[in-house]
A and B are shown apart, each in its own frame.
Chain A
């Protein structure tokens, strides 16, 4: 079990805040840190990794003390047995994919484990490429394989999928889940993507201005304002066309253009370029399974 209790003063875009977090992480858990940017999510992750020092606090992992400011214990990242996946992947540009993974695993010439990780992340065919010959999603997989190569006690993922397109993101979410199931490594992911958090995590911590304001399963956390009997989309108004007594609005929602019928009263005050909300009751929607993912309507 991992228990964390840390404080640190931070300067954010909205002024100074105090990051103050107490939490326990169970072995094998997939935990999400969810919140707006500037809430302190990444800092908390970096403190766990030993890359940032808190002002005060204690971190204990499976009976081992990683940090105790009162006793002046602060293990450097090298001694913490973590895997850290950076937002910019941080693959070493001069090494091939395989060398990147082997770099992490060295000391033990663990060829079989490296092969397994490369297979698990679907990189076996690309293992001799340098990072600059990989796509974003492939780099992400490489960074993940490298982080796992040290057999970490704790896998830390800092918005690992935020730079990827929607399709790749969904695919990698599936892969993350599979890998987590296979290796069972305790995982902490930072994300501001609600769908991602919902899909991946067994537990969510919501961070607001440096404090954990809610904690629970994704369903518990996001029931309420975010779960409702309505479809609710925001979009950009592209065009208004008169058609007999009604008007047809073309709205860009996500990357799909939707035509919506509106009355004279509804379009009063609307202009092309406005951001608008389109809602509909969701009592009886038609639901189909997609054989392959086609696109996303947000």
Chain B
């Protein structure tokens, strides 16, 4: 299918369009205020003290902790990306190429989705319970007394479990899109399974593998929650260091400087990943590919091996979540295993404010962010407004940056009048909208690529103004993208912490922050109860969205969950 080109018409014409111009201006204003301004304030805080200064950065680089943190962050990112990609590849192969019945693949999808939609500390806490010293599994089942779960090993394991679903979703789509005729063709030329896998399947999946590697690197670089619990002093990483610098040592400037140390690799990875996915895809599916091959490129032996690995992983994931659920329902896991609904009583009693606040914020984010994403996507993909590429990039910055940086930037930028927004719901909504709308924008551009621009031209020829065309022709057609964007926003609003921990206040509290507090205060039962609630809510939302997507007419976007894969 040839990509639909932007409609003909000069940029000048776009400038004069009475509806388009103000909309674009509004978009730019929003992006400038809520993306560029805070980051520049952060820059100023780091590099300006009366005059330009490198003192803050220099101080950082001389500290062994911070140097170590930089090295650790990069190392961890590379390792997590590798193991997560391999694991995700194994799962994807199993799901797509092993000929499993649809029901089994459905279960696989459902379980693998769990880490993606859980609050951030889930894996870490469960890991400590399960595999820590005297852990429920390591000690009580296997009799290993002192497994050291803190440090690189534990953090790596926890992050791999948390992020491999992203690799899975990305690679699943990639492998499913490999024309089965290509593998059939190789078979017909006499190649056996191993050779076909090596010479056809893997090279064609390579772009997906690289993409997955980059996505996981970015996720690991930005991960603040897991290393906070499992890193310990032996394994510092940058986002956690930045957080501690500010919250522990009252050092805003140091924290800001650390943020910049983190920003460089994070942004680099992001830019590379975007550039990579924008290259022409090597894989296209054309013609009669409906005849799925019955000769699978995986031998029974390979399937068995994959199944073993995946099953072990799935069991681990399920055990983690089982532990969380059990912990939420007993008085004190490990000491007093009597069933008790006290934690849930608290969640719906004292914790109700946090739940209500979080849901309110999420509910506001969804239409605002959804609409923003869609309008932005439309402007970027369908108009020839000058500077739209710059606008697109600028809008992405908050997504590219690790959450801690954004949180600190917002704290610095919006604390003083005239823009004293800290402590309000507004800033939370804004933070989410500008951090997590990217999925919606991407979905919009993807859908628009499938819609012939001549439809809009027809509307214009019948006398409709731009916004009328948008409202009555385009919007209905890109409803799936809108829905997808809103779903992602909801999920993120329920599970985000790294930016928003700096932004909660007396008036607005968030469930994820309550979970962190619970863990900090060792109210683990309570933290587990909150976590279970969040998981259920998000699961319900994803299920609803998937069902709704299937009902909506319009282009194919796949499950909402897949949009979480970058």
A and B physically associate: no
